[in-house]
Amino acid sequence: MGLFSGLSEKFSHIFKKMTARGKLTELEIKNAMREIRVALLEADVNFGVVKDFIAKTTEKAIGQEIIKSLSPSQQVIKIVNEELTALMGGTAAKLEVSPKLPTVMMMCGLQGAGKTTMCGKLAKMLQKQGKKPLLVACDIYRPAAITQLQVVGKKVGVEVFEKGTQNPVKTAKEAIAHALSHGLDTVIIDTAGRLHINNELMKELEGVKKETAPTEILLTVDAMTGQDAVTVAQEFNKRLDITGVILTKLDGDTRGGAALSIRAATGKPIKFCGTGEKPDDIEQFHPDRMASRILGMGDVLTLIERAQSAVSEKEMEKMEKRMREAKFTLEDFLVQFESLGKMGDMSEIMAMIPGMQGKQMKNVQMDDAKIEKYKAIIRSMTKYEREHPEIIKASRRKRIAAGSGTKIQDINQLLKQFDQSKAMMKQMKSGGMKIGGKKYKF
């Protein structure tokens, strides 16, 4: 299912009814807003946030120019999209860099929100941007927290500074001195978490803040905790004056309420989101793209960015050349499947394609297990078969099925999918492709 799938489906249903009516009366707009209100509350969006959102959106949507316009439903959808984007912060918020090195980033959050893992993801992302980060182990209470950070650091190739169970404030201070003397420009402090907020924890975090003067105080919040995530963010913000939020577990089957409520409840932006288990599964949070996904309009920009990071430029050029020369083979198809695996969970990728929400998504017979099956089938073919799929008749299909541990109908499906992909590439080559009513050039 994945993030916002339930909410997207409800929005699609509401908008479909509106579009079918053509002209809209004030009453019809108010009824649609009532349905949107229920959908948001069911998605666990904070009640106060929903109330303000509906008031603002309704006021704009029942303006005379909307009702009299040629396509009132499109205008209303546009307003809902703009208001959702504004609700989540309007524009993407970047990380601040200190004019005086090193830049100190203090990571905080409750136990179980994925804070330590997120420290590693952040370090890896900064490393890719040419920064030299240092991870600092300041969680001295949770058993194996230091070891966990060391494992995470090793995985991403970033040094971890630790002083055992020494006072965390002292460790943080020494880490900054270490960074300065070793030419490291960014210090990421992994602070202690608790199962719930208490005064003792907050006092320690305030001590670390006072001693290190961090440029960024980033709160890691589990997106799956819904309303609780908002309460946690408000409490941490009250005591520490956080600079931003990182939402984890956005790849889970979460109702999405936290993402829609946190900015309005704290006044602080969501800066990043965790989208999976791998060290690379961290993305900048773009309110406009997220609003587009919630409303079932897809997220083509993030999809393109993921594709670019999964496939090298050289591979891309080679693939393009083969497409142009109409030499696209099952070998290339295998390379594509490998690349899809690097891009993340298949259902999440599909959700980024415009018009692929709700029921449409259920019709697309493609998931991670199927991709693995297809890879096994292609690997069970001979080189000649991969390059000339037209020769794969009954006896060859039987042999390939036995070799890959699959059924003949799986091979039939794969070959059908391959033919469809070739046809789609021809279409893309000859002037772009229409998705969700928009034309995209490739």
pLDDT attached to residue 159: 93
Rounded Cα–Cα distance for residues 80 and 414 (Å): 40
| 329 sits in which H/E element | none
According to the 3-state scheme, what is the secondary structure of 166-197? CCHHHHHHHHHHHHHHCCCCEEEEEECCCCCC
CA–CA separation, 170 vs 317, rounded Å?
52
**What is the rounded CA–CA span in Å between residue 411 and residue 404?**
10
Name residue 282's beta-bridge partners.
Answer: 274
Q: What integer is the mean pLDDT of 56-77?
A: 75
- Residue 130 token pair: 């040419």
Q: What is the pLDDT of residue 118?
A: 92
Q: Which fold has domain 5-87?
A: Four Helix Bundle (Hemerythrin (Met), subunit A) (1.20.120)
103-132 pLDDT, tens digit per residue, is: 999 999 988 888 999 999 999 999 999 999
Residue 371 in tokens: 């991709």
Q: What is the CATH number of domain 309-440?
A: 1.10.260.30
pLDDT at 251: 60
Q: Encode 391-430: b = buried (16+ Cβ within 10 Å), e = exposed.
A: ebeeeebeebbeebebeeebbebbbeebeeebeebeeeee
Q: Residue 339 pLDDT > 90, yes or no?
A: no
Residue with tokens 């009132």: 72
Q: What is the pLDDT of residue 360?
A: 45
Residue bearing the bigger pLDDT, 54 or 339: 54
The pLDDT of 30-39, averaged and rounded, is 90
pLDDT value at position 396? 93
Q: For the residues 4-24, what does the mean pLDDT come to?
A: 78
Structure-derived torsion over alpha carbons of residues 190, 192, 197, 201, reported in degrees to the nearest 10: -120
Residue 59 above 50 pLDDT?
yes
Instruction: Please compute the mean of the pLDDT values over residues 230-243 and round it to a whole number.
Output: 90
Stronger pLDDT, 236 or 290, i.e. the higher one = 236
Q: Is the pLDDT of residue 51 over 80?
A: yes
pLDDT at 440: 42
User: Given this model, what pLDDT does residue 290 score?
Assistant: 82
What is the mean predicted confidence (pLDDT) over 199-223?
A: 90
Domains 5-87 and 103-294 share a fold: no
* pLDDT computed for residue 102 by the predictor: 92
pLDDT-derived band at 67 (thresholds 50, 70, 90) equals low
Helices (H) and strands (E) in the chain, counts: 21, 10
**Of all helices (H) and strands (E), which one includes residue 434?**
strand 433-435
Q: How confident is the model at residue 347 (pLDDT cuts 50, 70, 90)?
A: low
Q: What is the value of pTM for the model shown? A: 0.67
User: Is the pLDDT confidence value at 436 over 50?
Assistant: no
What pLDDT was estimated at residue 73? Answer: 75
Fold of the domain spanning 103-294: Rossmann fold (3.40.50)
Q: What is the pLDDT of residue 364?
A: 46
- Going by pLDDT thresholds of 50, 70 and 90, the confidence category of residue 333 is confident
Q: Which among 118-132, 271-285, 352-366 has the top mean pLDDT?
A: 118-132
Q: What is the mean pLDDT of residues 194-199?
A: 82
User: Is pLDDT larger for residue 370 or for residue 439?
Assistant: 370
So what's the pLDDT on residue 363? 43
Is the pLDDT score of 207 beyond 70? yes
Average pLDDT over residues 205-231: 87
pLDDT of residue 359: 45
pLDDT higher than threshold 50 for residue 434: no
Strand partners, 209: none
pLDDT at position 103, please? 93
| Per-domain residue ranges of the chain | 5-87, 103-294, 309-440
Give the separation between CA 115 and CA 193, rounded to whole angstroms: 8
Average pLDDT rounded to a whole number, residues 340-353? 58
163, 174 Cβ separation under 8 angstroms: yes
> Residue 358 pLDDT more than 70?
no
3-state secondary structure of 357: coil
| Average predicted confidence (pLDDT) for the chain | 80
Between 386 and 307, where is the model more confident?
386
| DSSP code per residue over 207-256 | HHHHHH--SEEEEEEEGGGTHHHHHHHHHHHHHH--SEEEEE-TTSS---
Least confident range from 102-111, 231-240, 375-384, 413-422: namely 413-422
Tokens in use for 93?
A: 């918020």
High-pLDDT (> 70) share of the chain, %: 77
